[in-house]
Structure 1
């Protein structure tokens, strides 16, 4: 092999598939562009690392630094006005109903509190504005951000990581020449009720978050950055710690608050910070780094993916992003997939808070949409990869939040609807509010809690843990019980419907700005899933037999889905869709994904209608919407179209409506992390699906991914895809491990052979984790086109035993 010049090797590390495939890297610093900085996090604390030679910036977050304090936000006038609002909607007076609800149901207090930054650590290096050999990377295989460059022949290197074991962010600074490391460290904070000082080797910020919308700020926070130098001197002023002529230095960043729970702020923030910090500084750097990598890779290394490579993979990440639509760069998709897993590990850890609209990273005091939990799609999308992409532990913060909402939501159900059970609307925050917030146009939507409860049920379908199911059953039961009391009979059609309801953030073109209606398709689909999950959970646990009968009777009276005059899946109970509507929310396709109500194999007419709807809405959209569309096209088994949406997503911001920033953060725009997780989920759905009573391998493989492999995906029923390889678009090897036992039904586009006895699958899958609730026959209007007949893929039943592995290959 021809040797590269030494200088070139120092600037750009020699590319190999193993080394560069899992790195974001750049030839230039982030400057002052937040969406060019690189994210590190341990699920509780986080930093955005800018990599500026002359002044490194680490913008800092702690997951419980929110405005306000414990509060409730229901409007007590809601229940009395509800009958009149419902009557107006049934009379076709949706605008009047919406106006009345704005006065009587919409919150008159908090619309939700804001997630805010702690501050920024500055590391100033005099004279480093003149540098060369610059290189910056985020190694997502090790969760370490590194910056290196040279000044006057001296190489300077910075390493940054956020450690779970040490509960601190650790910065290591080195120089290739002894005594050449000189810098000044200081903290700044945008928090108005905070002070910053330097004492000894510590930079300290203390504060309390502000009030917002009449809710008094009560979160006390504390942060300490401790500077420890090897060699040289450490000098301290009132506000800065200065290092002179050192060989190397470590900076330990610890942060904490007084937050214990959504109703308890009794912790000592400073003591928490000190406990983490004092334990961390006693350990050698190499031990800290090793423990961090080991902890992180415990999760990250579970899944490996290879979609092929090309010379394009040798380019910096921002160049690859710019060229992706024009270059063959399948490895960039693999990187983006794994970056989504990196982000979920980094922003959602057991015992912590769930990922917000921006994950764990937010640099603004008044962030977009307050960086809350938007639960009419965005929070759910954050967790789509958790189970199937082998990060179930990362799901735990969301599970805990849903359990807490099932408590606070009981008051909202009683106050606004006079109903049992619990309800949450389209948004919540650290304080677990459940009343309607923000604009009336989309605020009064009572499906948020029920959608979140599906995560509790779906998690059980993957883990099969009855003790877990018993723990979350009250939340699943309560979400369904709410609908038993809240559904009302449509006087025209006699169905049970949600009234008032909406199709999130959209409205028919015949009544612009008026979203209120009864029996909206997405509402019906979510109610169906909530009742079905509660029925199944209760029967598994042997509970609530009489209530199960009530749930079943209620479910039988829900409106069926409808295919409208343009061949589309109707968004509303009346055929009001406009084929020229290109709204970013296509919420009525919830039934296709994440639900399993629509299937090309079981409900071909509805799948055809969903396809038509997607074509009518078009591909151009916001980032999170494109992420959802990847999953929809994958569920429709159209890999080429799914890849087209990935290509749109992996484009610079604005080219296709949303896109991706240079640090690979998703753009709504502005930044929202949900699109990252949505695309990671969609890539998985292209390669493996397990929702439709069967494990379907390579259901939506695009032609561009002719050869590849993936290892470690999880399927429902406790199955793990230990190995899946393909060549020229056909499976070559499939290895499945069974953790629970039971029938394994496998679907493949090519016939499979193996040593294990297998039979052509017939009838309903006997595995209890693969039961699919039958839906009502859809109503199909005259102008709808019939779907084309499909060739049934090969499907096999394989009996499995717990703990055993089963290998197959193409015939």
Structure 2
């Protein structure tokens, strides 16, 4: 058979597979009971600016409202100027082993005396009251994540009522359509409610329901965010009556509700916008369009993003059950399509909570019903906020990274003053937490807040975005941010008096504390701090090489990087968390921060650093599986990097377990929100990233396909995942954990190095050769990890890895390449 004809057959096969995969799966969360008053039962909608929680109650429907800029407080700073004078004494106490004394002094002189961060707050609720709907039948509610629509339907007295909801991506409004299969059957009252003390609810002169309020004053920072929500209605037949604080709809055939929300927030320094004018403009734009037009525009805009990736892992009878029942049974049954649903749900949540021009997804994405949410629903940047954006590049949602990258730019500005004021350092930095006002001072006490690696970590997202997109203009415009992160550590690092290294002091390994350090987290030269500084220096060096602007400062980074502590393998065959070998194999702390070097960084590799790789596995085993929801999400990624698909899948089942079942750990709520507990969205995003890492990795010098496929998912299909170097996995089918056929598109050109589980051949007139030596593609260049120091008591040995095959093929920008299993 001619090779060209074979190629055409494969292209046709892939086209059919993509359509089949997306149409076959019923990508819906659905339930046969209302949410009641349980917020975690409600279904989330969002467009990156507005968040809505749809309860689906029959008699009194509740739609919880959020807007991305509705936060307590106002522009403020929280640096502590006493830190600079106290810094030498804090360091001396650390070096003398007086950790508790150092922690006490840090609490007095370094931790902020001002705001510990402001709160993301709800706008209020839309409440729809339907009299006479007490006795309902045939109840159904759903969230269609293929179209970003929610729907509730039920029957009363022989009439079927349907409510459809969406938060329009292009039109900045929440839209609700209420219909019935019998004319004149729809009667209800619409109201706003709000928990804000300073609120005003009225019907304006246009007959629209208006909610206006100002956010809370918190920790001495005056609440100055004013916001306005407007609700307008369109009806077919029947009557609309205005009440003092609501709108009454009587005997209509159809009712369409429009909700717009806006605030006076311009940016983290300015509150100069006119919230009423903005809300009115958003509303009027939507009112000028027909419902079907709004719906079609929304679905089209959403599916441009969502349909980039398809995943089919097979199905079973378990998929026929309501979502809450599938969740309850998942750990004890075969339900592979539930994994695919959860993966897609993570992408849905990112699309819904993070859009260009908006605020980044916070601890709860864009959904919060409490005036005082857990951890203020801020941005915890010692893991959680970064985890939110792990799916952005690898699951083909690169432009949704923008709100986070924009926040990094803001922090590089506010963090410059913090670096100078508190530590006498150039460059910029951030501690472990921030908020909409971009605070960078240390909060919550020295045990948590003394960590200064927030800026170091978030800046790595700029580099990651470049590695996936190859956008040199973006890199050039952000180079000073990368350089500034390095400048801080050039000035902050200090020579350890008892070790031959430059160390971060004070530092810590986030939120953990060894008994040998008097139960204090404060330390010098923790492994995570060393890894972060290594990445900050390496990124600045590599970025300067790409841009061709090497200078003496960059040369100095190369010298300083060699003076950082190397990673160490301790007496328990573990990757040491601290500079001294004091880890306990009984420690099951939720943070395993020193495995940052395994993921999301690439300092630990099965091929380049096999002993460190083995030590990382021992650390994972010692820490255990069940933990908080976000911790289990991170572990899915780690076990994928370990090339252990079965253990990664075990962590997925642990995470997809109802809240309260995992003793001492997190799980998942009925609406598939991740539970710390309480709700934190990071675990959703972390697990979505982990599932993609099980199928494709690209951080270790090659595009590695099927690195960690579990037995439970031995056969499947995926299309649309992306890799570093601008490579897109257009389609891939595997069977019995081996590649059958796959196509890759090269968006940037250059060498494509493939690591695969079985031998393959390329279709068409292309040359595929065995991969040898360093990958010449610069996007896959890795900084050399220093040789590990190994305890004399260690018996570490490299792990036995599954056989893989390495191939190279030179690609041309814009072309696709198809491969198949070789016989």
Q: What TM-score, normalized by structure 2, do the two folds share?
A: 0.96
Pairing partner for 1:774 from 764, 777, 784: 784
Pairing partner for 2:306 from 296, 300, 305: 300
Provide the residue aligned with 1:808 in structure 2: 819
Pairing partner for 2:697 from 686, 689, 708: 689
Instruction: Write out aligned runs for 1:500-519 (5 A).
Output: 500-511=506-517, 513-519=519-525
In structure 2, distance between residues paired with 1:709 and 1:489: 52
Pair 1:314–1:18, CA change in 2 (3 A) = farther
Provide the residue aligned with 2:762 in structure 1: 754
In structure 2, distance between residues paired with 1:529 and 1:117: 37
Report the secondary structure of 2:341's partner residue. helix
* Alpha-carbon displacement from aligned partner over 1:76-125 (angstroms, at most 9, x marks no partner): 10000001111111111111111001010000000000000000000000
Please say if residues 21 and 331 of structure 1, whose CA atoms lie closer than 8 Å, have aligned partners that are also in contact.
no
Report the secondary structure of 1:608's partner residue. helix
In structure 2, distance between residues paired with 1:58 and 1:196: 16
Please say if residues 560 and 779 of structure 1, whose CA atoms lie closer than 8 Å, have aligned partners that are also in contact.
yes
RMSD of the alignment, in Å? 1.1
Report the secondary structure of 2:365's partner residue. coil
Pairing partner for 2:82 from 77, 85, 106: 77
In structure 1, distance between residues paired with 2:550 and 2:164: 56
Alpha-carbon offset, residue 734 of structure 1: 1.3
Alpha-carbon offset, residue 609 of structure 1: 0.6
In structure 2, distance between residues paired with 1:791 and 1:715: 22
Pairing partner for 2:234 from 217, 228, 235: 228
Does residue 733 of the first structure (1) align with residue 741 of the second (2)? Answer: yes
Does residue 596 of the first structure (1) align with residue 576 of the second (2)? Answer: no
Does residue 616 of the first structure (1) align with residue 622 of the second (2)? Answer: yes
Instruction: Write out aligned runs for 1:619-768 (5 A).
Output: 619-656=625-662, 657-755=665-763, 756-768=766-778
Provide the residue aligned with 1:408 in structure 2: 414
In structure 2, distance between residues paired with 1:476 and 1:799: 31
In structure 2, distance between residues paired with 1:154 and 1:288: 27
In structure 2, distance between residues paired with 1:764 and 1:400: 34
Alpha-carbon offset, residue 19 of structure 1: 6.4
Provide the residue aligned with 1:548 in structure 2: 554
Provide the residue aligned with 2:119 in structure 1: 114
Does residue 128 of the first structure (1) align with residue 133 of the second (2)? Answer: yes
Does residue 54 of the first structure (1) align with residue 59 of the second (2)? Answer: yes
In structure 2, distance between residues paired with 1:490 and 1:267: 51
Please say if residues 661 and 667 of structure 1, whose CA atoms lie closer than 8 Å, have aligned partners that are also in contact.
yes
Provide the residue aligned with 1:449 in structure 2: 455
Provide the residue aligned with 2:566 in structure 1: 560
Alpha-carbon offset, residue 198 of structure 1: 2.1
In structure 1, distance between residues paired with 2:505 and 2:61: 54
* Alpha-carbon displacement from aligned partner over 1:502-543 (angstroms, at most 9, x marks no partner): 000000023454111100000000110011001011111122
Alpha-carbon offset, residue 775 of structure 1: 0.9
Instruction: Write out aligned runs for 1:173-572 (5 A).
Output: 173-199=178-204, 200-511=206-517, 513-572=519-578
* Alpha-carbon displacement from aligned partner over 1:158-196 (angstroms, at most 9, x marks no partner): 000000211100000001100000000000000111111
Q: Which runs of 5+ in 1 are unaligned?
A: 1-15
Report the secondary structure of 1:634's partner residue. helix
* Alpha-carbon displacement from aligned partner over 1:366-419 (angstroms, at most 9, x marks no partner): 000000000000000000000010000110000000001000000000011100
Alpha-carbon offset, residue 791 of structure 1: 5.3
In structure 2, distance between residues paired with 1:653 and 1:704: 23
* Alpha-carbon displacement from aligned partner over 1:433-488 (angstroms, at most 9, x marks no partner): 00001122110110001100000001000010110001111111111111000000
Report the secondary structure of 1:704's partner residue. helix
Report the secondary structure of 1:211's partner residue. coil
In structure 2, distance between residues paired with 1:412 and 1:304: 44
Pair 1:776–1:17, CA change in 2 (3 A) = closer
Please say if residues 390 and 712 of structure 1, whose CA atoms lie closer than 8 Å, have aligned partners that are also in contact.
yes
Report the secondary structure of 1:184's partner residue. strand
Please say if residues 25 and 312 of structure 2, whose CA atoms lie closer than 8 Å, have aligned partners that are also in contact.
no
Report the secondary structure of 1:493's partner residue. coil
Please say if residues 97 and 517 of structure 2, whose CA atoms lie closer than 8 Å, have aligned partners that are also in contact.
no
Instruction: Write out aligned runs for 1:142-161 (5 A).
Output: 142-161=147-166
In structure 2, distance between residues paired with 1:258 and 1:69: 11
Report the secondary structure of 1:120's partner residue. strand
Provide the residue aligned with 1:6 in structure 2: none
In structure 1, distance between residues paired with 2:396 and 2:251: 47
Report the secondary structure of 2:222's partner residue. coil
In structure 1, distance between residues paired with 2:516 and 2:183: 74
Alpha-carbon offset, residue 645 of structure 1: 0.1
Report the secondary structure of 2:523's partner residue. coil
In structure 2, distance between residues paired with 1:530 and 1:82: 23
Provide the residue aligned with 1:11 in structure 2: none
Report the secondary structure of 1:325's partner residue. helix
In structure 2, distance between residues paired with 1:164 and 1:598: 40
Report the secondary structure of 1:218's partner residue. coil
Pairing partner for 2:143 from 133, 138, 142: 138
Alpha-carbon offset, residue 304 of structure 1: 0.2
Provide the residue aligned with 1:13 in structure 2: none
Pairing partner for 1:786 from 789, 797, 801: 797
In structure 2, distance between residues paired with 1:313 and 1:792: 34
In structure 1, distance between residues paired with 2:332 and 2:568: 40
Please say if residues 129 and 190 of structure 2, whose CA atoms lie closer than 8 Å, have aligned partners that are also in contact.
yes
Please say if residues 99 and 518 of structure 2, whose CA atoms lie closer than 8 Å, have aligned partners that are also in contact.
no
Report the secondary structure of 2:331's partner residue. coil
The size of the alignment, in residue pairs, is: 797
Alpha-carbon offset, residue 491 of structure 1: 1.1
Q: Which range moves more in the overlay, 747-756 or 194-203? A: 194-203
Alpha-carbon offset, residue 654 of structure 1: 2.1
Provide the residue aligned with 1:576 in structure 2: 582
Alpha-carbon offset, residue 602 of structure 1: 1.3
Alpha-carbon offset, residue 604 of structure 1: 1.0
In structure 1, distance between residues paired with 2:45 and 2:608: 43
In structure 2, distance between residues paired with 1:33 and 1:369: 20
In structure 1, distance between residues paired with 2:808 and 2:158: 66
Report the secondary structure of 1:655's partner residue. coil
Please say if residues 100 and 518 of structure 2, whose CA atoms lie closer than 8 Å, have aligned partners that are also in contact.
no
Please say if residues 22 and 310 of structure 2, whose CA atoms lie closer than 8 Å, have aligned partners that are also in contact.
no
Please say if residues 207 and 232 of structure 2, whose CA atoms lie closer than 8 Å, have aligned partners that are also in contact.
yes
* Alpha-carbon displacement from aligned partner over 1:195-229 (angstroms, at most 9, x marks no partner): 11123531111111121111111111011011221
Q: Which runs of 5+ in 2 are unaligned?
A: 1-20
Pair 1:791–1:709, CA change in 2 (3 A) = closer
Provide the residue aligned with 1:25 in structure 2: 30
Alpha-carbon offset, residue 587 of structure 1: 0.4
Please say if residues 201 and 228 of structure 1, whose CA atoms lie closer than 8 Å, have aligned partners that are also in contact.
no
Q: What TM-score, normalized by structure 1, do the two folds share?
A: 0.97
* Alpha-carbon displacement from aligned partner over 1:50-83 (angstroms, at most 9, x marks no partner): 0001111000000000011111100110000001
Provide the residue aligned with 1:799 in structure 2: 810
Please say if residues 504 and 529 of structure 2, whose CA atoms lie closer than 8 Å, have aligned partners that are also in contact.
yes
In structure 2, distance between residues paired with 1:127 and 1:17: 40
